[in-house]
Structure formats: C-alpha cells, structure tokens
Amino acid sequence: MFVITGGAGFIGSAIIWRLNELNITDILVVDSLGQNSDKWKNLLNRVYLDYCEKDRFIDDIRNNKAYLKNVKYLIHMGACSSTTETDNRYLIENNYEYTKTLAEYALRNNIRFVYASSAATYGAGELGYSDMEDGLHLLRPLNMYGYSKHLFDLYASKNKMLNKIVGLKFFNIYGPNEYHKDEMRSVVSKAYLQIKENRQVNLFKSYKPEFLNGEQKRDFLYIKEAVEIVRQIIFDDKIHGIFNIGSGVAHTWNDLVKEIFESLNIEPKISYIDMPENLKSKYQYFTKADMGKINNYIKIDDNYRFTLKNGIKDYVINYLEKEKYL
C-alpha cells in the first residue's frame, strides 16, 4: 500500500494522478480538508483505497495500528506550504515534528520514505542551488516556512537518515490542482485570472539594481514533469538523499506571463506594482535548480517533459480555460 500525505493537495494529488495512470490504486490519502477549502475537488477524479485525516493518521502511526503493516511506500507531501505563515509553533509542529515522526516510523518498519523539502531552504541563493548534502548546514532560509523545512533536512543529515530516505527540494511548481491554494497559487494561475478579468498582469517591482522590473528569475517546472520525476524516485530504491526538483533553467517573470498572454492570444500588457514591505527582505530574486545529481538516475519521456511554453499552454488551454482538474 501507498500512503500519500498531503494527498488532496497540489503535488500530492498529482502524484496520485500519475500512480493511477500506472493502474496503482492501493493508496491511502492523508490530508486535512478543513472547513471552507475546495481541496477535496482534487480527489474527485482519483482512485484510491481510503482517506484519513492527518491528526488521526499520526495517532495511528504512534499506536502502530495493524493496517500499517501493509504500507510499502510513505510519500510525505503534507505540510503547511504558506511561505508567509507567521505562526512559528504551527510550522514546527506541521513541517518538522510531523515529518520526524513519519520518517522514524518508516525507517523502523522498512518503508520507502520520500518527503517534500523546499527550494526555500536555499534562502537568497548566496551559496547557489546545489543539492549536495555537505553544505546543508551553511544554508540560511529567508522565512520561517523555509527554516521549518531546513530543520528536518538537518535532522535527517545529523541522524544518518539520508542514506535511506529521499528529500525533494521543489522549486516553482505550477499546474492544475493548485486552485485551492489562494495566495500560494503559482503566478501562472493568478496571472491567468488577472488577464481574463482586466487583460493585463501586475508584477512586483524590483528593488535590486541588477534586476529590472519583471526580470527577477525563477526556476519554473510544470506539475506533470515534476510528478514523473517523483514517480521514478519512488520506485528506484538506489536513490536516497536530497534532490532538487526543478527545470534547471531560470526564466523571468516577464517571460512567464508573456507565455500566458500568447496562450490566450491576447496582446501582453504588464504593470509593475510595489512589493509589500513584509516581503522585501524575504524575496528570492533568482533561483535555478542544479539538476545534475538527479539526472544521473532519471530519464524523462517526451510525454512528460515540458518547456515553459508547452507547460503553460497545456495548463492554460486544457485546464484553466476548462476549469478542469487532473
């Protein structure tokens, strides 16, 4: 049996989509659906054995419930993913302590454990974006979300876990099933709505002279390619350690939104607005995943490899325009 925590979320539900494509349905979905969230809609098209709320699941882990004997793969995508969350205790409980408990259980019971770290652990990128583990202790995240992810990476390293488990540092992932994420949705999703409503897009101004407005760069990866990489990692037990999950290419925000305009056949119109004060000291101006390490293990079929242009076009035309889920 597979357990996918965060299974109703963006990346978790997309992983289930990819497993379903392989006719794998022996899946326990773990999540917290909340009171007013549309996250449940990410599961409408998916086939799985059962659903369990995250608080009950962690209790079952601690009590070693009998059904857990069947678990072979524990894919931990569940976390607070808000980069602007200010409740530090909440972040520690959800992103650090919960992950520790699952990882230790998986190792005791010979379960394949794959967990979500984050590119936010790299901070401003002063040390680059290499996923080699010998430099982990030197990283300085810019926000508490990134630090909560970084803490578990450090814990796994100090406790010699990284030769048995896999951590995934996701960069800017975009695509269907992120609709419930509100302000944490990708700029592709938010810009699409702006274009449909106003035929223009607002981007943050740059506050560093080396970057013109809209020329800040990020590593963007389409969700379908991201979960194909994850799929290969899950089933290859020779893979262990921490790995970047990105495209390996840095594109500007201007590049990104122009592809959305093109997909909609609308003339680009971009306005540059002030960045909120609380974000200025925490903003990443450049990210680019070093993919050399994981590329030694994986090979992406053309059906799951997307350029920025092709990924945005697929998302806009086949999902956003149709209000469709994976």
Helices 253-263 & 308-315 angle (0-180, nearest 10): 50
Mean pLDDT of the region 196-222: 96
For the cut 80, the answer to whether the pLDDT of residue 144 exceeds it is: yes
Residue 229 lies in a domain: yes
What counts of helices (H) and strands (E) characterise the chain? 10, 13
Q: Is 94 a residue whose pLDDT tops 90?
A: no
- What is the total count of domains within the chain? 1
With a cut of 90, say whether residue 139 has pLDDT above it. Answer: yes
d(C-alpha 17, C-alpha 326), whole Å: 7
C-alpha–C-alpha distance, residues 306 and 316, integer Å = 14
Q: Is residue 312 assigned to a domain? A: no
| CATH number of the domain to which 163 belongs | 3.40.50.720
**Confidence tier at 35 by pLDDT (50, 70, 90):** confident
User: What is the average per-residue pLDDT within 80-97?
Assistant: 84
Residue 85 lies in a domain: yes
Catalytic residue ranges = 145, 181
Residue at 216: amino acid letter:
Q
CA distance 18 to 326: 9
281 band by pLDDT with thresholds 50, 70 and 90: confident
Mean pLDDT of 70-79: 95
Per-state percent for the chain, helix, strand, coil, to nearest 5: 45, 15, 40
Closest CA to 288 of 176, 172, 129: 129
- The answer to whether residue 70 sits within a structural domain is yes
| pLDDT tens digits along 211-267 | 999 999 999 999 999 999 999 999 999 999 999 999 999 999 999 999 999 999 999
Within a domain: residue 200? no
Domain that holds residue 139: 2-174+220-248+288-306
The per-residue pLDDT for range 104-138, each reduced to its tens digit, is 999 999 999 999 999 999 998 999 999 999 989 99
Residue 132 lies in a domain: yes
Q: Note the pTM of the prediction, 2 decimals.
A: 0.95
Does a structural domain hold residue 116? yes
Distance CA 70, CA 222 (A): 32
Q: Is position 264 within any domain? A: no
